[in-house]
C-alpha cells in the first residue's frame, strides 16, 4: 500500500526590495528562486512598486513587492534560505538602509510572534512602510497581524514613500 506523505506548510510573507543592478530583474530572479526552494511553494506575489529610499536619499528609488510562500522551513531556516538568495544575487551588507541589489525580509510567518538576535516576527518595520503594507494588502486585503492590527487600516496611517505601482504590459515587462 502506498504511503501518503503529508508535510505541514506554514504561510510566510516575504518583502522584496532592490535599487541596484536592474532592480526589476533582481526582483523577478528572487521570485524564481523563492519558487525553487525545496518543500516550499510560491502562492503568489504582489504588483511591483517603486518607492523613495528610506535611508540616505542619494541613492536610486527602490522597486518593492511582497511574496506569499507556503513552506515547511522553520522561520530561522527560511531566513537562512532568504539570505542565501540575497548572497547569490550579489547582496553586500555595508550601510543600513543603503543601496542594495536585493533585500529579502521575512515579514510574517503564520501568526508567529518571536524575537531573537537574528529575527523578529512580525518584521519590526511592517506597520510603518507603505511599500510593505500596500503590496501585503494587495495579496491579502483582509489580513490582520498577530496583534490584531488590520493591514488596510495601518496603510491609511503610515508614512508615505512616494509609492508608484509599476504596470505589467502585454510583452510581460514591468515598467513605470
Catalytically annotated residue among 80, 103, 129, 169: 103
DSSP symbol at 89: T
Separation CA 104–CA 162 (nearest Å):
21
Catalytically annotated residue among 3, 35, 58, 105: 105
Catalytically annotated residue among 91, 96, 117, 118: 91
For residue 122, whether the previous peptide bond is cis, meaning omega lies within 30 degrees of 0, is yes
Q: At what angle do helices 75-88 and 23-35 cross, to 10 degrees?
A: 140
Cell of 20: 541596484
Catalytically annotated residue among 3, 35, 58, 100: 100
Q: Is 103 a catalytic residue?
A: yes
Cell of 161: 514613500
Give the active site residues.
91, 100, 103, 105
Amino acid at each position: 500500500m502506498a504511503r501518503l506523505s503529508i508535510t505541514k506548510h506554514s504561510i510566510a510573507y516575504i518583502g522584496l526590495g532592490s535599487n541596484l543592478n536592474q532592480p526589476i530583474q533582481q526582483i523577478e530572479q528572487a521570485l524564481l528562486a523563492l519558487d525553487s526552494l525545496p518543500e516550499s511553494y510560491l502562492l503568489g506575489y504582489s504588483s511591483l512598486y517603486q518607492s523613495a529610499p528610506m535611508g540616505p536619499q542619494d541613492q536610486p528609488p527602490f522597486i518593492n513587492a511582497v511574496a506569499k510562500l507556503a513552506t515547511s522551513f522553520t522561520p530561522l531556516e527560511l531566513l537562512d534560505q532568504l539570505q542565501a538568495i540575497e548572497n547569490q544575487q550579489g547582496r553586500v551588507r555595508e550601510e543600513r538602509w543603503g543601496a542594495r541589489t536585493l533585500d529579502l525580509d521575512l515579514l510574517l510567518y503564520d501568526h508567529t510572534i518571536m524575537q531573537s538576535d537574528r529575527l523578529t516576527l512580525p518584521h519590526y518595520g511592517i506597520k510603518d512602510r507603505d511599500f510593505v503594507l500596500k503590496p501585503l494588502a494587495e495579496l491579502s486585503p483582509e489580513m490582520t497581524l498577530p496583534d490584531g492590527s488590520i493591514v488596510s487600516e495601518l496603510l491609511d496611517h503610515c508614512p508615505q514613500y512616494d509609492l508608484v505601482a509599476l504596470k505589467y504590459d502585454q510583452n510581460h515587462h514591468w515598467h513605470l
